[in-house]
Amino acid sequence: MEKLKILEFADPVCTWCWGTSPIIRALEYRYGEQIEIEYAMVGMVDDIRTFNNRRLKIGGDNIELSNRNMLKHWLDASGVHGMPVEEHHFHLFSEKYLSTLPQCKAYIAARLCSPINKDGVRDTKMAHKYFRRLQEATAAEAMQTGDANILSDLSAVVGFDPEKFRELLDSSKVQQIYEEDKELAKHYGVESTPTFLLTYKRQELLLQGFTTYETIEHNIRQFTYGEISPEKCERSNRTKLTNENVAHYIEHYGSVYPVDIATAFGLKRHGGHTALNIESYEHLPNILDELIHKEKIAITPKANSYMIYSLHEGRTQTQERMHEVAGTY
């Protein structure tokens, strides 16, 4: 079967790309080997001093004002998309860090560091893991991810050789790919991030801007005439809402947020509730209570939301550290 290719035009610093992360995971989990997901980097801010978003009052010589207004926008957005934002110590831009180009180039370097599979193609799973970790460090931990040292440290966390990564980060090859990504975005008339380009049997469909999982799934069904669907996934039985399946999903990714689970299993959100909280989603509190009781998961506060992580025997040192400070909601 021919795979559906999904290309997301993105910037790791874009809050709506961060908010799209649960959708990407749900697509991976629900469609399995039927789809291929890739990212093209579209730098959101070349230089904050020349950037100009009049509506949000972000950009210009007053960098601190831009930081404050960007944080306000991120916090407002997080209540909609459900991914956490850390407001304390937020200081994304400064005279030293003026651009989102380093974060974009970091993903490209991670992609080039990815291993070659048996078919001679780069396996980008680790690069995707790095992209998510980079987003998380930027938004949920307020780390200065414009710093090359931090970008290199994050690469080691997901399993890359940090020295090789650092060499690639400053290479002309990464710069060339970044420029090619920008040209590709220009070719398709990409006006905002995230934007999705779906390709199937030589046909293309462009979906501009932040959207929902349900909208993307509807478009995939229409675009592929039903040939690509969650029901045809090799693990379709894993997408039914059961305690066991939720535990499996959490274990599969190691750590998740409430909206990750809600998106993957189609949980409805109670009217008027923020997307950040566990109680916002039907069935989720009871399921997580049961999994905590069985010592399958633990929960700890994370920025303005909660991180939920697996307690399976093979948990990482990072998960062990989280376990030490884990609380309940």
Distance CA 236, CA 228 (A): 13
pLDDT of residue 27: 97
Tell me the H-state helices in 82-171. 101-113, 125-139, 148-157, 162-169
Q: Exposure of 79 by Cβ count < 10 A (0-12 exposed, 13-18 middle, 19+ buried)? A: middle
Distance CA 112, CA 89 (A): 32
Domain with CATH 1.10.10.10 in the chain: 240-325
Kindly report the number of other CB atoms within 10 A of residue 167's CB atom.
14
The pLDDT profile of the chain, 329 residues, written as one tens digit per residue, is: 799 999 999 999 999 999 999 999 999 999 999 999 999 999 999 999 999 999 999 999 999 999 999 999 999 999 999 999 999 989 999 999 999 999 999 999 999 998 887 777 777 889 999 999 999 999 999 999 999 999 999 999 999 999 999 999 999 999 999 999 999 999 999 989 999 999 999 999 999 999 999 999 999 999 999 999 998 887 778 889 999 999 999 999 999 999 999 999 999 998 778 899 999 999 999 999 999 999 999 999 999 999 999 997 554 444 444 444 443 33
Domain with CATH 3.40.30.10 in the chain: 4-187
Residue 12: cis peptide before it, omega within 30 degrees of 0:
no
pLDDT of residue 119: 75
SS3 state at 322: helix
**CA quadruple 294, 295, 297, 302: dihedral sign:** positive
Under 8 Å between Cβ of 230 and 240: no
Under 8 Å between Cβ of 25 and 86: no
pLDDT of residue 257: 98
Domain 240-325 has CATH 1.20.20.10: no
Q: Which two tokens stand for residue 186?
A: 């220009």
Distance CA 216, CA 198 (A): 10
Going by C-alpha positions, the residue among 205, 209, 203, 208 that lies closest to residue 77 is: 209
Domain covering 4-187, topology = Glutaredoxin (3.40.30)
pLDDT of residue 155: 95
pLDDT of residue 319: 47
pLDDT of residue 117: 79
SS3 state at 296: coil
pLDDT of residue 327: 39
pLDDT of residue 313: 54
